[in-house]
Amino acid sequence: MALEKEPYKGVRDFYPKDMAIQNYIFEIMRDTAEAYGYEEYSASILEPSELYKAKSGDELINQQTYTFTDRGGRDVTLRPEMTPTVARMIAKKRKEFSFPLRWFSIPNFFRYERPQKGRLREFWQLNVDIFGVEKIDADIEIINIAYDIMRNFGVTEDKFEIRINDRSLVDAKLKEMGLDEDQSTKMKSLIDKKDKMDNFDQMTEALAGKPFSFELDPSDKINTAIKSLNERGISNVVFAPNLMRGFDYYTGIVFEIFDKSGDNNRALFGGGRYDNLLEIFDEEKVPAVGFGMGDVTMRDVLETYNLIPEFTSSTDISICVVDDESIVGAQKLASTLRDQGLNIIVDSSLKKIGDQIKKASKNKIRYVICVGSDEISKDIYKLKDLSSGEEKEVAENQIADSILG
């Protein structure tokens, strides 16, 4: 039987055009995080499974992880998120660091989910987190970065919405209603899914042992955050009392960002404050707040608003070779130009020159030079700009200058 050509369910192959888009998305993520002074870190995709057991939340652990036993009998998980990993890294060197730390990373994750629009089994996620700041300034900075990322992709404020809530407010309210910790965790998970459920009232009543009604007013923290984001010119922030976020580690402000077009129903960003996560490593608390933002949902949004820039090749010049005798000369020219910092393809197919030029144009390469023995012996080359159609005669040592300006 012939082998399957499709990739594994829910993961993607990145052909060069997809890779160009992916690189563009990563570039905006990276540039925006660095604009706020965040430093990049990374880690392995493999983690011991117990890292997630303490605080990631039931759904993620029991239904969504790729977990296996390695040859040494250890339980290993392909990371489904970065927060426990970064908490582990901070916990390990906590005493060496001087806080605050501003860190970012663009890792890939695996989650065993039903593949659908905006949800795959492998995806990449920008993580931006700040450690060591208790004050709400950190939450505001984090939300501001998320906002700037959307703007830097060209998505205007009217097209998206930042929803925020306060986990501490919810926890206090549920406690006041007499729910224990286990019931409270389950209740938050139901509230989180309220809009997608048709039996919310029955489910919550069964859990609480009495009819459940849940009214929240915005906390001071929420009012402060919204006010100061407004002062920074960010006016698309709304209080969302049903927003819980699926992870058990959040302790304060939580937020998500949604596209308003109606085409993309999944959250684009999700994050919040998690001040107690380091306790799972028996370490002292380090206040922390951050978010994750996925590549899949972002690409969908860029497609919705037609914001993906046109693909350009990273190759500067395609050298078209006229005949067999000129191949060596063309290769030498290419190597001189590469030394000067240009990216060069030598088309040694010996196809018709017109076809070689067409191929370069199809591959979005901006310049071509056709090389035959005449050009080499006289040191005069015709440099053609395929974007404008202009052609000019240049000597070898003028080519780089004409292109790089």
Nearest to 398 by CA among 357, 344, 332, 340: 340
User: What whole-number distance in Å separates Cα of residue 352 and Cα of residue 337?
Assistant: 24
Exactly one of 296, 321, 322, 370 binds ligand HAM (CB under 6 A); that residue is: 296
- Print the binding letters for residues 70-109 with ligand HAM: x by CB under 6 A, - otherwise: -----------x-x--------------------------
User: What whole-number distance in Å separates Cα of residue 131 and Cα of residue 144?
Assistant: 16
Q: Measured from the CB of residue 234, what is the shortest distance to ligand HAM in angstroms?
A: 19
Query: Is residue 356 near ligand HAM by the rule CB under 6 A?
Result: no
Query: Is residue 113 near ligand HAM by the rule CB under 6 A?
Result: yes
Choose one: 12-20, 26-34, 202-210, 268-276; the region binding ligand HAM (CB under 6 A). Answer: 268-276
277, exposed or middle or buried, with CB in 10 Å at 0-12, 13-18, 19+? buried
> Angle between the 220-231 and 136-152 helix axes, to the nearest 10 degrees?
40
Choose one: 184-192, 266-274, 367-375, 390-398; the region binding ligand HAM (CB under 6 A). Answer: 266-274
Query: Is residue 139 near ligand HAM by the rule CB under 6 A?
Result: no
Query: Is residue 165 near ligand HAM by the rule CB under 6 A?
Result: no
Q: Measured from the CB of residue 109, what is the shortest distance to ligand HAM in angstroms?
A: 7
Exactly one of 77, 297, 326, 356 binds ligand HAM (CB under 6 A); that residue is: 297
| DSSP per-residue string spanning 120-177 | -SEEEEEEEEEES--SHHHHHHHHHHHHHHHHHTT--GGGEEEEEEEHHHHHHHHHHT
Exactly one of 103, 104, 153, 269 binds ligand HAM (CB under 6 A); that residue is: 269
User: What whole-number distance in Å separates Cα of residue 274 and Cα of residue 252?
Assistant: 7
User: 220: Cβ–Cβ under 8 A, 6 or more apart, which residues?
Assistant: none
Exactly one of 107, 218, 241, 290 binds ligand HAM (CB under 6 A); that residue is: 290
Q: Measured from the CB of residue 332, what is the shortest distance to ligand HAM in angstroms?
A: 48
| DSSP per-residue string spanning 202-222 | HHHHHHHSS------PPPHHH
Query: Is residue 264 near ligand HAM by the rule CB under 6 A?
Result: no
Choose one: 87-95, 122-130, 158-166, 221-229; the region binding ligand HAM (CB under 6 A). Answer: 122-130
Q: What is the 8-class DSSP label of residue 119?
A: B
Q: Is the dihedral of CA 385, 389, 392, 393 positive or negative?
A: positive
Nearer to ligand HAM, 9 or 338 (CB): 9
Backbone φ, ψ for residue 295 (5° rounding): -75, -30
Binding site for ligand HAM (CB under 6 A): 81, 83, 111, 113, 119-120, 123, 125, 127, 129, 267-272, 290-294, 296-297
